[in-house]
Chain A
Amino acid sequence: MALPGEMKIEIDRELCMGSGNCSFWAEGVFDLDDDGIAVVLDPTAAPEDKIILAGQGCPTQAISITKDGEKLA
C-alpha cells in the first residue's frame, strides 16, 4: 500500500509483452525480469511526469499508476 502522496505503480504480467518502452520513458524505474516482463525497480528513480509518460506509453497498457486514489495512467 502506497503512503499518501506516493505513486503506486502496478504491472499486469499477463498483458505485458516486454517491449521495454517503459524503461525508455522512465529509465531506472522499470526493468525487465528473466521472463522479459516489466518490473518496478525504483519508483523514485525518475520524475513523476516521466513515470506517467511510461504508463501512457506502454503499448499493452499493462502499467497502472495511482496516487492518493487517483488513476494517473
Chain B
Amino acid sequence: MDVQPDTDPAMVLFSPDAADEPHKPYRHLLEQCPVARSDNGSISGAAGASVLISRFEDLNWALKHPEFISSEDAVAIGNDRPLIPLQIDPPEHAKYRRLLDPEFSPKKMAALEPDFRVLVNQVIDQFLDRGECDFHEDFATPLPSTFFLRLTALPLSDLPVFLQWRDNIIRPDVEPGDFDAAAEIRAATGKEIYAYFERALDDRTAQRDHGLLSRLLDAEIEGHSLTREELLDICYLLIIAGLDTVTATLDCMIHFLARHPDERRRLVEDPTLSPVVVEELMRFETPVMVTARTVKQDVTLGDVELRAGDNVTLVLGAGNIDAEEFREPETVDFDRGRNRHLAFGAGPHRCLGSHLARLEVRVALEEWHRRIPDYRIPDGAEFHFSPGIRQTDTLPLVFGSG
C-alpha cells in the first residue's frame, strides 16, 4: 500500500488491506501526523470527525488520564448501557476492577494452566495426522472460545451462536463505511445477547454452578450485590472481549513465525523463551490495532487542539513501533530487553483479561511448537487480516520441513 500524503488519516488506517501490513500506515501516521484530525468516522463506529493519536508518549499519557481522554461512551457496540468496567471511568471504575481483577489475576490464571495445556493438545489431536490445518478455523478459533465457555460454565453447544454474535458486533457484514447498517446489526445482536444472559443469570440465580456468572451473583461491592443491569453489562463485555482477541493474537503470531524460521527455531530449541516471545510479538503485531476514547476536557496534544466531545482513536500499534521508545522498532528482537508495549493498553482500563490472554498464548505456542516445530503457509494461499482486531479469515498451514 502506498500512502498519498493528502490521504485522510483514518482512511489510511482502515483501508481494506491496512491490517495485512499495518506497519505501513502506522509509519505514515508517526512520520506525517502523529496527532491527526480526520473527517471520517472513527473505529468506535460513530460517524463524524475523530482524532488519531499515534506516538508512544502521547498514547501512554492519554491512557493514563481518563479525566481528559475518557473511555465512557467511547464505543457503541449494540449495548444499551456503558460496558463494565471498560466504559466507567475512575473513581467509579475502581470498585468494579477490585471485584473483577482477582478473577483474572496472574495467580488465578496460573492455576488454570494444566487444564488449558490439556485442551491445547486435544485441539491439536484433531488435525495433527492430516499434516495440515486451517490454523484460524481449527486452532485459533475453538481454543480460546472453548476455554471461555468453561470459565463461564456456559454450554459448549452455544459456541456457534456466540461466534455469530461476536462477528456481528466486531465486524458486521456491511459495505465499508456504512455506519448505519452496522449500527442496526449491532443493535439487533445486542438484544439477543442481553436476552441470553438474562436467562443464564436466571438459571444460576435458581441454582449456582462453578462458573464465573455464579461467582458474580454472589459478589458484593460495598456490601451490596451487583444489580441485574450491572451483571449484564459485565457479561456483555466479557463475551465480546473473551471470544475474539486471543484468536486474533494466535493468528498474528503463527503467521509471523510461519514466515520467520530463524525466530521460530529459537522458540523450538528453547521453550523457556516463550514469555519473551509473547511480549515481543504482542508489541510487533499489536493484534488490537486501536482503542476508542472521547475527549472529556479540552487539551492540546502536539499542535492539535482536542475539544470535549471529539472522538479519539488511540493507535496502539503505531505507539508500539515508535522509534522514540523502541530501538529498531520494526525488528522482532527477543533480546531487546525493555519492552514497555501498549498492546494491552495501560492505565486504569488496561486489559482485564491480559493475564488470561498471556497464559493462553504462551501455552498454545509452547505446545504447538513442541508437537509441530515445522510448518509453513502453502504457496499461493489467499487470506486477509480484518482491520481493528486483526484476525485472519483463513490461515492454511502445512506441517513438516518439506
Residues of A that sit less than 8 Å from B by CB: 15, 17-21, 23-25, 27, 31-32, 34-36, 57, 59-61
Partner-A contacts on B (CB < 8 A): 94, 97-98, 101, 105-107, 109-110, 275-276, 279, 337-341, 344, 346, 348, 350, 354-355, 358
Complex contact B106–A17 (CB within 8 A): no
Q: 10 closest A-B pairs (Cβ-Cβ)?
A: A20-B106, A23-B106, A59-B279, A61-B338, A59-B339, A60-B340, A20-B355, A21-B275, A36-B350, A17-B340
Are A34 and B101 closer than 8 Å at their CB atoms? yes
- Find out whether the CB atom of A19 lies under 8 angstroms from the CB atom of B98: no
Partner of A34 from the list B98, B279, B341, B344 (CB cut-off 8 Å) is B98
Cα separation A17 to B283 with both chains bound (whole Å): 13
- Chain B's interface: helix, strand, loop or mixed, by majority? helix
Chain B residues with CB below 8 A from A35, complex form: 348
Nearest CB of chain B from residue A34's CB, rounded to whole Å: 6
Residues of B within 8 A of A61 (CB): 337-338
Contact among B97, B109, B346, B355 for A17, CB-based, below 8 A:
B346
Q: Is the CB of B105 within 8 A of A32?
A: yes
Given contact pairs A18-B350, A27-B110, A36-B350, a sample of 5 additional A-B residue pairs in the complex whose CB atoms are under 8 Å apart: A17-B344, A19-B354, A21-B275, A34-B97, A61-B338
Contact B107 A27 (CB under 8 A): yes
Of A17, A23, A35, A57, the most chain B CB neighbours within 10 A belong to A17
Contacts of B105 in A (CB 8 A): 20, 31-32
Contacts of B348 in A (CB 8 A): 35
Q: How far apart are A40's CB and chain B's nearest CB, in angstroms?
A: 14
**Using Cβ atoms and an 8 Å threshold, which residues of chain A touch B346?**
17
